[in-house]
Amino acid sequence: MQWSIVLMLGSTVLQGCLPSFHCCGEAWGWLGLVALLVCRALQGLSAGGELSTAAVYISEVSPKNRLGYNLSWISASGNFLAWAVAALVMFLIESLVSHEDMLLWGWRLPYLTSVVPGAALILARRCLEETPDFEELVKEEAERTCANQLEGDTDVVATSGGPLREVFAHHKLAVLIGSLGTMGIGAFWYVPSVYGVQFIMQYNDLPATAVSFSEMLGFCIPAVLAVFAGMLVDVWGACKVHTLALIGGCVIVPMPLLYWWTHVPQSFAIAALFIGQIA
């Protein structure tokens, strides 16, 4: 878990040091672009490792009747609130730095300043104790290995075929629904809130500060609602809430919103931006 934080921090800070087309020319710009893709891939790997281990950790220490509520704080703080803080940082930088300086060096500031919260997370992780379930699992594994060595059996035969094989063998429908639903919800998070606002900004020539501020508001709302969604999971069950979010967030809302954004008059573009983000 700590290594995933280090990998995320290192790849994020490194992006702030990459050469760009605007400041370093075409040759260095292409090198920076390739390095950017590598850093983004490393960020994705580290985020996947961190979120999954955090979810497992909370699942092991949380009471079952409050599991949805406790897990919801991962989305509230680790996803939406983090995006809101990032949008706020961008809003402040864009308000203080000119457009030309932003292209030259201002865009590097959010990446480089991430070293402060990243270092704090690494220090906090060092103080985090392992869960009793994990310690019991390690103890059982050590006892099993010791018993096999005493019996002279060096080959440990896996009776279940491993956890992944067991999941795919006995939970095919759950894996399919969860995978497709997660991809759909992930696409909804990115398309309207990131690419959609960039489109309406370029299409209507809106100021970058308005876009960053709208993104901050747009992520603050789900940061609050995520906690209530977690409470709803404890009452209704994860399957019903996930299906409801999938239908509403990936089918009902995105298409009308994107259609409205592409046909809104320019005089109403900023208002449409904020309304769409809040909706």
**Residues 39-54: tens digit of each pLDDT:** 988 887 776 556 777 7
Q: Which domain range does residue 94 map to?
A: 62-278
Q: What is the mean pLDDT of the chain?
A: 80
Half-sphere exposure of 142 (CA within 13 A, CB side): 6
Distance CA 206, CA 253 (A): 23
The number of distinct structural domains making up the chain is: 1
51 belongs to a structural domain = no
pLDDT band at 157 (very low <50, low <70, confident <90, very high): very low
Closest CA to 218 of 261, 267, 179, 262: 261
- Full-prediction pTM beyond 0.75? no
120 belongs to a structural domain = yes
Distance CA 138, CA 132 (A): 10
Whether residue 160 is predicted with pLDDT greater than 80 in this model: the reply is no
Task: Give the per-residue pLDDT at 185.
Answer: 67
Distance CA 207, CA 28 (A): 29
**Buried b / exposed e along 127-136 (16+ C-beta atoms within 10 A):** eeeeeeeeee
12 belongs to a structural domain = no
Percent of the chain with pLDDT over 90: 10
31 belongs to a structural domain = no
Pure H helices in the chain: 2-15, 21-61, 67-73, 82-96, 99-104, 109-112, 115-126, 132-150, 163-170, 172-190, 197-204, 208-236, 238-247, 254-263, 269-278
Closest CA to 93 of 211, 14, 223: 211
Whether residue 14 is predicted with pLDDT greater than 90 in this model: the reply is yes
pLDDT in tens, 71-126: 888 888 877 888 888 889 889 998 999 888 888 899 999 999 888 888 888 887 77
181 belongs to a structural domain = yes
User: What Rg, from alpha-carbon coordinates, does the chain have?
Assistant: 23
43 belongs to a structural domain = no
Which residue bears the tokens 């400041």? Answer: 23
45 belongs to a structural domain = no
Half-sphere exposure of 221 (CA within 13 A, CB side): 13
Which residue bears the tokens 């996803």? Answer: 79
133 belongs to a structural domain = yes
